[in-house]
Structure formats: structure tokens, C-alpha cells
Structure 1
């Protein structure tokens, strides 16, 4: 910047003021600066600038697994909101690993973000390290909540959405059993388990949990392997299975096909299968998967807007702000 000031004949303080906010200098001065910038193709070193700022226009977006189309889609919506609001998105995936989740947060510290939108791993997250980060950086959680950390949370109303699909399945056939991982990775799974039990009891039905082994985020494989064992035993108390998420259901559908079970409603069908999330692939399974949609756009938009409000006000809320969005029943061929 010193060299550019000498070349352009504009003082270094004026240039610094311009780079922080172009509208803060007179229009005639701004034109001189921008003309000189074009002549030399000068660009400021944002990493160096960040060292001298308390925070920047960077906003981190951290998701558990970028290869999952669910998280890729919700991150895409958030990224566009961040760009439209004049911030710079920094998108990172944790690969389902607690160590990578913490490394992502540590790397974000280096660019001094104005705030972070975080979908945590949940059960396996290093809570103390995340708490330290949240104390330093305004953080809004989405998809999965960690109480009492962060300024806000935006996600689905699992009690409403599971109640909605349990009611539908009971009305249209045998009451469902709940197909899930014994030790889920995502906190939503525990909420959906409790919501299923509550919904079945409300309808006067006996809840049945079918819990399969598996760790991590390879849900399709866990669903496939677990369903092979469950379906082979032919010991299910119902022909209807409600899966904790669509990715488990996709694995279950593959296992049912391999074992010769026809899925759907009507003559010749042995099973009904439903899921939760309206995963982008759920409409393309065979048969297409009945599910409950999460409102991707509303969840992403609310999380981003709350974070922008906190950044612009310069004040963190006294109480954590929580937004829970209702799901919508998507009826397809599997149930």
C-alpha cells in the first residue's frame, strides 16, 4: 500500500479508509483511487488486512459432510444469502470427524470471521472446544442444536414432522416400527425417536424400535447392512418401517430389493417404507420414497438472517433464539 500511495499521489490513510469503506471518501477521491487501481491492477492482501482487524466480512459455513446432498443444498442456499448480504462465505466440511470439525473452527479463527453458521456433528462433537469458539465468535447453529451454545438455532420441528408421518402411516396401513441406528451420530435422531414413541402412544399404538449397529455418517451402508439382518429374520411386528432419516431408508430399500421384498402399497407388496428429510435422492429411489420434507430454504434463510442481525447490531442476544420449522408430508410409492 505504501508503494501504491507513492505512485498514485494519494495518502496512505486515505487509501486505508477507502479499502475499509469506499463510500467513506469523496467521490472525486474515489474516482482517482479506482483509476489508479485499474492502471496497476492492484489488489489488497486480505489476509494481511485481517491481521489488523477485530473481525472481517468473512462468514464461515460449516457442515458435517459436504458430500451429503442434504447439507450441500442447505449450504448452497446459505452461501447465496451470505454473498447477497455483502459478506464472503467460507464453506467447510467436517467429513464426519470431530477432529476435522475443530480444525475447521480453528482455521476460521485465522480469518477473523464476523460470524459462523454451524451444523455440528452432535454426539461426537468436542463440546468444550466448540464452547470456546462460540464465546469468541457469534455462532448460529442449524440442523442440529447444541444446548446452550451459540446465539441461535434454526432447524426442523421433529415432534411435529414425525407425528405427521406416524399419523399418516397408521391411517393408511399397519402402525410403523421405527428403524434407526442404536447410537446415532446426529442429535436429531434422538429427538425423532422420542417423537415417534410419543406419537404412537398418543394414537394408542405400541411403539417398536428396530435399532441397528453402525457408527459414523455412512447411513446408506448402515441401513443396508442392518436391514439385511432385520428382514432376513422375518421377525418384524409390522410390515411398515419408518426410518429415522432418508439415507437409512435408501439403504433399507436396496436390502429389501436384494432379498426379494416388494415395497409399496397394494397387491403383492410385502413392506411399506418411509423416511424423513425429503433428501434430494428420495424421489428417485425405486419405489420413490414417502417422507417428510425439511424446509431447506426457510432453515437456511432464518439462520443467515439472524446472524446478519447480530453482526450488524454488534450485540449478542441475552437468550438463545430458536426457530423450528414444520415439515410437510410427501406421499410417494414406497408407502
Structure 2
């Protein structure tokens, strides 16, 4: 593999001259520039992008921080971000924070040290003060961090109400809710939508809500607890698809038939929901559109383009399948 010294030797110039040509910084005579460009082409020389970013104090790279790469929602989101970034001439560094504040801060430090141009983040722990300290463009996705920060979310409460009312329309009399992680904004909104839909039901108490922590294994235990507490439950709204899948597994373990004895609806619309058996009824987010929009907004910020607005709330769609 050719080095910058090889290019300088073939062109008959100094390494510093080659560097000025590569970075388009400083004066280089036209004759010398042509010799350098010819040598680069003949040697098929590829510049060291890390070194160039250190020299220029920026790179054609954006960061993407997600809380749980094991949840299929986030790889689908990451795919949209990567596709869009690539079309716009940027690379993506993917970071998995595990909703851990220290790990998230460590990733922020690393990304800044590598001179990323901007960051897309899905976080429930990042603060407005941390955002300001970074001093680079940031876009929040899936959950709001602070007012004024460019944000892409969906109609969480509206979708949750629609899911619960849909179970009612199917004749379900007692509907439980497997909520997402306490304190996470979208989990609170979805739980709030469920509460509004059942608030006037004479049977409803807070004991019809259990925490599945947005995790399939936790949801299995939570569902067993919920059905043990209220055996008459005949419908469950889970705040994401992975917890809905956990609820179906728990029902199978308890000998309950889905949907005959227990109807289950999820939230997200991940690809897995359409290929499992029985296929999962879900409130689908426009996942690809969210990633595409977040990346476009971030690149516009980085390139200092005019912004029409900074807060986007996208619609969700209830997709009926076999679990209801």
C-alpha cells in the first residue's frame, strides 16, 4: 500500500506539499499540484482518514448512540441512518449505551475526540448541560431530551390509546398493560395512553400494569405475574413488540391460547412482528422514515442549512394481525 512519502517521492515534492494538496490547505503551485495529483492516481494512494480528521479538526463521520442494540427496533433505525448518511457522503459510528450514564458519557468523549461532525442519540440520561458542553450538532430520536434540541418522535400516547381501544373493540373485557422502563419518556407516554383508555373501567386498578423494562425476558416474568394476579385478563397491550413476544411466550407456558383466550398487541412494528407465529398485531412506527429524517436534519445542521422546524412528531399505524 502506497504511503504519503511514496507520493512525495514520485511527484518530486515534499511530504508537506502532498499534505497541503490532500487537505486543500495552504498554497501549492499549479505545476506541483498536477504532479501530486498524478502520483496519487498512479499509486492509487488512499489518505489516512483518521490523520486527516486530526489535521482538519473534523471528519465526514456522524455518531449514533442507541440504548439497546439487542432490541431489533434499533438495528432497523441504525440501517436507515447509515443508508441516508452514506447517500449524503458521511460515515456512521454506532455506539450501544445500555442506558448507562457512564458508558454514554464515555462514548460522547470518544466521538468528540474523533472529531465527528454530529451525533444522533436516543437517550433517557443525557442532559441539556451535556449537549451544550459537546458544542457540536445533536439530534434526539425516539425520545425528547430537552426543549429546543432537534427531536424526532412519534405519537406514543395516541398510539397506546388506539391499541387499548382496539382490544376493547374486539370484545376484550379486562386489559392489562406491560409498560416500558420507568422514567423513559416514551414508556411513560404509552402507559399514559393506556391509562386514559381504561380510566373509566370499573375493574381498573394500578395492579393491571406491570413493568417489562422493554425487555423480552423481563416481560415473560411480568406477564406471569400479571396473569397470576388477574387470571381474568383477556387482553394485553405491551409497550413494545419484544415485550409482546415475551407475553405470548408466557401465555404459552401457562397454557393460554393466543388469541382465543388472550389477545396481545405490541408497539413498534419491527420486522420480527410480521414473521413470528402467530403474527403480532402492533402499533407500527415509521422506523425507517425516523432514521432518514434524523440524519437529514443532522446533516442540515452540520452544513448550516436553514431549518423549517426542529421538533417532528410522526404518526403511527395500527396493523392488525393474528394475535388479536
TM-score bracket, normalised by the shorter chain, equals 0.7 to 0.9
Name the count of aligned residue pairs: 318
Matched ranges for 1:170-319 at <5 A: 170-174=168-172, 177-181=175-179, 183-184=181-182, 186-201=184-199, 205=201, 208-209=205-206, 210-212=208-210, 219-236=215-232, 238-264=233-259, 269-313=260-304
1:92 to 88, 91, 95: 95
Contact 1:181 1:212 (8 Å CA) reproduced: yes
2:311 to 315, 319, 322: 322
Pick which of 271-280 and 283-292 moved more.
283-292
CA shift at 1:297, angstroms? Answer: 1.8
Give the Cα–Cα distance (whole angstroms) in 2 for the partners of residues 130 and 172 of structure 1.
46
Give the Cα–Cα distance (whole angstroms) in 1 for the partners of residues 81 and 30 of structure 2.
33
Give the Cα–Cα distance (whole angstroms) in 2 for the partners of residues 26 and 155 of structure 1.
51
Q: How has the CA–CA distance of structure 1 residues 78 and 157 changed in structure 2, closer, same or farther, with 3 Å as cutoff? A: same
In the alignment, which residue of structure 2 is the partner of 1:145? 144
Query: Normalising by structure 1, what TM-score?
Result: 0.83
Query: Normalising by structure 2, what TM-score?
Result: 0.85
Give the gaps of 5 or more residues in structure 2.
Answer: none
Please state whether the residue corresponding to 1:313 is helix, strand or coil.
Answer: coil
Give the gaps of 5 or more residues in structure 1.
Answer: none
Please state whether the residue corresponding to 1:275 is helix, strand or coil.
Answer: strand
Give the Cα–Cα distance (whole angstroms) in 1 for the partners of residues 111 and 237 of structure 2.
38
CA shift at 1:139, angstroms? Answer: 0.4
CA RMSD after TM alignment: 3.1
Superimposed CA distance per residue, residues 156-201 of structure 1 (whole angstroms, 9 cap, x where no aligned partner):
1113322322332222222563423485363210011112223445
